[in-house]
């Protein structure tokens, strides 16, 4: 798990790289604040807006992976603790992060904030 501070896609890429796996992410169910939803709905270019939301930083939410068999137990525990969990993807045998929205592949020109170096 990690905090999403460099952008959702960049930070999920860190998880994939450290774990030696691929991740397939669907942005459609990804939660957005009311302000982000309102902003998104006014954008002329939804693709560019989607990229900005998926790659912007300083979100400070937690992203993690868990085995499929643990999903129901995780959901019950999250409900007990009043924590909202949203499944936005799955682990694959490939490498890197594949992004989709509405079932269609999304091509991103960037993944998020990159620290100097």
Q: Which of the two residues, 92 and 110, has the higher pLDDT score?
A: 92
pLDDT per residue over 45-101, tens digit each?
A: 887 888 888 888 777 788 999 998 999 999 999 999 999 999 999 999 999 999 998
Looking at residue 90, its pLDDT comes to 95
Angle between helices 46-55 and 34-41 (to 10 degrees): 150
Q: Give the start-end residues of each E strand in the chain.
A: 2-4, 22-26, 61-63, 89-92, 96-101, 104-105
| pTM beyond cutoff 0.85 | no
Q: Which residue has the tokens 């009043």?
A: 82
In whole angstroms, what is the distance from residue 117 CA to residue 103 CA? 35
CB atoms closer than 10 angstroms to residue 113: 14
Q: What domains are defined for the chain?
A: 2-105 (3.90.650.10)
Residues in the chain, overall count: 117
- Mean pLDDT calculated for residue range 102-109: 83
């Amino acid at each position: 798990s990690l905090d999403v501070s460099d952008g959702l896609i960049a930070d999920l890429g860190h998880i994939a790289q450290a774990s030696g796996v691929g991740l397939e992410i669907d942005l459609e169910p990804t939660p957005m604040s009311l302000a982000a939803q309102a902003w998104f709905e006014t954008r002329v270019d939804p693709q560019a807006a989607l990229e900005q939301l998926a790659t912007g930083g300083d979100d400070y939410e937690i992203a993690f992976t868990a085995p499929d068999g643990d999903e129901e137990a995780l959901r019950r525990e999250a409900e007990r603790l009043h924590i909202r969990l949203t499944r936005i993807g799955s682990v694959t045998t490939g490498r890197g992060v594949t992004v989709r929205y509405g079932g269609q592949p999304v091509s991103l020109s960037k993944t998020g904030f990159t620290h100097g170096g």
